[in-house]
Amino acid sequence: MIQTPAKLLDVQRVAQKKWVPQTDGTVYWIARDPDGWPVWFFEVPGKEQETAAETLAGLLVQEKKQAHARTMELYQGVAAHLDGWTVDCTQFDSGNSWSGPDLRYKIINGKGHAISLSRGRGSDRGKIHISGYWPVKGEGGHRWTSPHDVRESSPDIGVSESRGYEAIAREIQRRFLPEYLRIYTKIEAKITEELIYESRKARGWQGLVDAGLVVNPRERNGEQAGDLRIGSKDADGGYNYDKGYGDIRMTSADTVEIHLRSLPLETAEHVLEALRGGENG
């Protein structure tokens, strides 16, 4: 087995070499995380080692299958002792399809809550680290949230794997779930509040657009803005600037920022009168 790699290669650089032993005897080899997943790729002098009979790509696929089986055993073993919780394993695209699908593991309860298990490394080797997934916000769940959004810290605990799956599940119920569920509920409440606010802001903006003076309405990073064309349309359907122009943006669900330019004096007087009327009202 290779002990000291001579050169650390970037994953994509190695991938471009198609994972085959080189004609000069150089061989690629793998370092593994505690679950057995290949995480680093080394180039070593092949003359000091036996050249692998199979290509590295085939070896990676085989090792990922073995790591998957070991990970599933851990998740299923713990989930079996958590009433109402099951294992969820889904594929996701990390761009490494050359070595088989990448997988994301969770223990879920069907209510949005999800638990993550990971094996420790280094001084933590032999421990199972337990953490949680958090709600996602937006259509399709595109924006991740965090306990920091509600001024909390992410709870996590560690349990020795040698204690067995039942003991790990018991510690999850006792030391992890109460705090995790408390913070999860706080984040959900904050998301609901933000969605109500954003909906009210969107309705206000649509009302301004429907008034007919806003052109090129746009939204970027949750901010609505557009251009103001106060003049009449010409024969080609474009806007004249005979009565001024400007821009507008929503600054909150209840306030708007407007910049007006090149207003005729009469129009400016009407604007000021309207503002004075608003003050009196």
Structure confidence by residue, pLDDT tens digits, 129-188: 999 999 988 765 567 899 999 999 999 999 999 999 999 999 999 999 999 999 999 999
The yes-or-no verdict on residue 35 having pLDDT over 90 is no
Which structure tokens are listed for 196? 């109500």
The predicted structure's pLDDT at residue 241: 73
What mean pLDDT is predicted for residues 49-57? 46
Contact (CB, 8 A) for 253 and 200: yes
The yes-or-no verdict on residue 7 having pLDDT over 50 is no
Q: Give Cα 29 distance to the centre of its chain.
A: 31
The yes-or-no verdict on residue 93 having pLDDT over 80 is no
Percent of the chain whose pLDDT exceeds 70: 70
Residues in the chain, overall count: 281
pLDDT band for position 1 (50/70/90)? very low
Higher-confidence position of 103 and 16: 103
User: Across the chain, what does the average pLDDT equal?
Assistant: 79
The predicted structure's pLDDT at residue 102: 80
Q: Give Cα 271 distance to the centre of its chain.
A: 46
Q: What is the pTM of this model?
A: 0.71
By DSSP bridging, strand 157-160 and strand 143-144 are unpaired
The yes-or-no verdict on residue 251 having pLDDT over 60 is yes
Structure confidence by residue, pLDDT tens digits, 255-276: 999 999 988 898 888 888 888 8
**Cα radius of gyration (the chain):** 30
What mean pLDDT is predicted for residues 84-92? 92
Structure confidence by residue, pLDDT tens digits, 104-127: 999 999 999 999 999 988 888 899
Contact (CB, 8 A) for 30 and 11: no
Integer Cα distance of 226 and 253 in angstroms = 16
